[in-house]
Structure 1
Amino acid sequence: MDGVVNHEGLTQASAARALASACGQVGLPCEHVDLLRLGENAIYAIPSEGVVVRVARADTDDIEQKVAKELAVSRWLASHDFPAVRPHDELPQPVQAEGRLVTFWEYVPLSQAEPALVDLAGLLRDLHGLPRPDIALPVLDPFPLMRRRLAHAQGIAQQDMEFLTEACDRSEAAFRSIMAEDAGGLIHGDAHRGNLLARDGQVLLIDYEAVAIGPRAWDLIPTAIAVDRFGLSPTDYTTFCRTYDGDVTDWHGYEPLRTVRELGMTTWLMQNAHSGPAAAEFALRMDSLRKEDRERRWHAL
């Protein structure tokens, strides 16, 4: 059964089965849940219990290591009083359910005060200023994940698969060269406003799946990309740079790392690009990548 579920992919149906199984194992009621996000993981809220449930794509060794890292990073950040979401350690975790790993986190209700870009800049500045953690962290390497997405992709045209595979191959050499000259330090790995939550006047940085050791520029590039791709105003970007105290677009490694970032964003979307808005957006991104159109507007989904 588990093997079948793993190959099925992370869909609303398969994630819901894992959610129900995991909650049943720990005695957590899950009759009234809200699906917050379906992407690399499925994220559910159970407001009545004050719990967020995170369902990973599988329970393979690599994902098991990643889940253990998320929990360890959250606890380490708490020990440094960094504003981050905490694991719900009153429950046993992680839990294996339907061929997937499930973890439990504190629930932060939606706030009327939406976190701003300057909040992200300040959090990244403070995160990058922390000492190197005394826990085992991987060195930044986005290529295995992108290639795994390509290997398990379903319903994607062969020419798109071939283009993305070749694009990953072309960009990897430049990435390795940058890593050789700048191993960097602690990075969040997936820094954007979607990974911020507001609580009682404080903004929290969430989602530690991609935390690693790497060039700090990796955390700044998504905001820089947003000017061209998602319509972020240059004025807002200037404020972001002033708050962080640096502009990543002035760095010689910006263009090659931007390419890797955009490939990651596209292969992430590919996982759900079977129909509807996700399929249309995937086609748009593929066209802009093929044409090397760096200013083509993308849409956040």
Structure 2
Amino acid sequence: MSTHGCGPWATTAQRRWRSRSATSSTPDAASTRASMSDDLPYVIQPPADAGLAAAAAAEAAARWGLPSPQHLRTGMNALFATGEEVILRVCHPTAPASQALWLADRLRERGLRVPRFVRPAALEAHGLTVFAVERLHPVGEIDWREVGSMIRSVHEWPAFEVRGRYPLPRCDSFPWWDAAAALTDVSDLLDDPARAGLEAAIGQHGGWRQRVAARVVCHGDVHPGNVLQTADGAVLLDWDLTCHGPAAWDHATVMTWPRRWGGEPTMYTRFAEGYGASLEGDALAESLATMRNVVATLMRVRAGRTDPAAAAEAQRRLRYWRGDTDAPQWTAQ
């Protein structure tokens, strides 16, 4: 349920980055991205041109002596398989590639299981960055206790050790979390009952920022799509939204997944056991869980303007906000 992406409610910092990133193929690209790394998460938008992403992957595969890349999927990153052992990750980062390599090394030093980069440096091609990452293969069900334990280690990592070495924006600065602006943007696509339900949720939970008392280093997007169970144990994927926020930020999605996304009923219980504390019932965590669902719904509604599949999923989600007691579980897209 990655809820990030550029939209008409983008902040000034995001617009400034998009303007600067137009020069990303120039020799100054790395320094430009470095100057923005305190403003934004590591990745905030997908590669704009699928053809250029494929060309960048092909160039990287040729340079590194890898098999011809086969496109797997594109979200915020375009992923290409090159055989059974390597994935090429093509992205448009806001900070230098070296920072992602640094983060992976430090996380492993802290005992976390994360994907390994299989080349010591990234390749820059066609204004995009290409990483070669080990291809992982799923084995069995996710061990959520292990995930909770790893997230606890992330939260105990002093922020000063990360800041300046990898983007660590405040989570409340994410532009796509301006729920009021997002609601206004898609108001013409909503019926009155759906709009009223969303407005009520925002009214009750939208003031969560004023209740944040302490901040920790957060993964930023913990959910089943970003965890892979391997023969060696659970692996935490996708650190693009690493941020500085309340511990509840990383609990909220796991809390809401069984409620609205069809997750295994005990996944949060097991996550909390591994973490060492449950935030279920905590006012801030519950507000964040609700607001994550609000944001996820509004982004599907917006995407539905041009994407029929997104429009269909948006209608599934809106049934819940209308108060439909038979509202179906949601599907992550």
TM-score of the pair, normalised by structure 2: 0.67
Distance 1:271 1:75 in 2: 37
Give 2:110's aligned amino acid.
H
Aligned to 1:75: 105
Aligned to 1:115: 142
Identify unmatched segments of 5+ residues in structure 2.
1-20, 23-44
1:178 aligns with 2:223: no
Aligned to 1:225: 256
Aligned to 1:31: 68
Q: Kindly indicate whether the alpha-carbon contact (under 8 Å) linking 1:83 and 1:205 is maintained by their aligned counterparts in 2.
A: yes
Give 1:38's aligned amino acid.
T
1:209 aligns with 2:245: no
Residue 53 (structure 2) aligned to one of 15, 18, 21:
18
Matches within 5 A, 1:83-102: 83-93=113-123, 95-97=124-126, 101-102=128-129
Aligned to 1:194: 225
RMSD: 3.9
Inter-CA distance 76–172: structure 2 relative to 1 (3 Å threshold): farther
Q: Kindly indicate whether the alpha-carbon contact (under 8 Å) linking 1:116 and 1:193 is maintained by their aligned counterparts in 2.
A: no
Inter-CA distance 157–55: structure 2 relative to 1 (3 Å threshold): farther
Give 1:263's aligned amino acid.
V
Distance 1:272 1:193 in 2: 22
Matches within 5 A, 1:1-301: 14-24=49-59, 27-28=63-64, 29=66, 31-35=68-72, 37-47=73-83, 50-56=85-91, 59=92, 63-65=93-95, 70-93=100-123, 95-97=124-126, 101-132=128-159, 134-136=161-163, 137-141=168-172, 143-146=174-177, 158-160=188-190, 174-179=207-212, 181-182=213-214, 184-269=215-300, 273=304, 274-275=306-307, 277-289=309-321, 291=323, 297-301=329-333
Distance 1:51 1:262 in 2: 34
Q: Kindly indicate whether the alpha-carbon contact (under 8 Å) linking 2:206 and 2:291 is maintained by their aligned counterparts in 1.
A: no
Give 1:77's aligned amino acid.
L
Q: Kindly indicate whether the alpha-carbon contact (under 8 Å) linking 1:146 and 1:267 is maintained by their aligned counterparts in 2.
A: no
Measured after TM superposition, the shift of residue 272 of structure 1 is 5.2
Distance 1:158 1:206 in 2: 36
Deviation string, structure 1 residues 94-139 (Cα, Å, up to 9, x no partner): x252x5x323142233133343333322322332233335132222
Distance 2:326 2:154 in 1: 29
Distance 1:15 1:235 in 2: 39
Aligned to 1:6: none
Q: Kindly indicate whether the alpha-carbon contact (under 8 Å) linking 2:122 and 2:129 is maintained by their aligned counterparts in 1.
A: no
Deviation string, structure 1 residues 238-295 (Cα, Å, up to 9, x no partner): 3333232222222121332123211332355457544454331112213423549797
Deviation string, structure 1 residues 161-190 (Cα, Å, up to 9, x no partner): 9969x96985885132023x23x2111000
Distance 1:21 1:231 in 2: 36
Distance 1:10 1:233 in 2: 30
Q: Kindly indicate whether the alpha-carbon contact (under 8 Å) linking 1:72 and 1:135 is maintained by their aligned counterparts in 2.
A: no
Percent identical: 24
TM-score of the pair, normalised by structure 1: 0.73
Q: Kindly indicate whether the alpha-carbon contact (under 8 Å) linking 2:255 and 2:280 is maintained by their aligned counterparts in 1.
A: yes
Measured after TM superposition, the shift of residue 68 of structure 1 is 6.3
Distance 2:96 2:178 in 1: 17
Aligned residue pair count:
277
Inter-CA distance 23–175: structure 2 relative to 1 (3 Å threshold): farther
Identify unmatched segments of 5+ residues in structure 1.
4-8
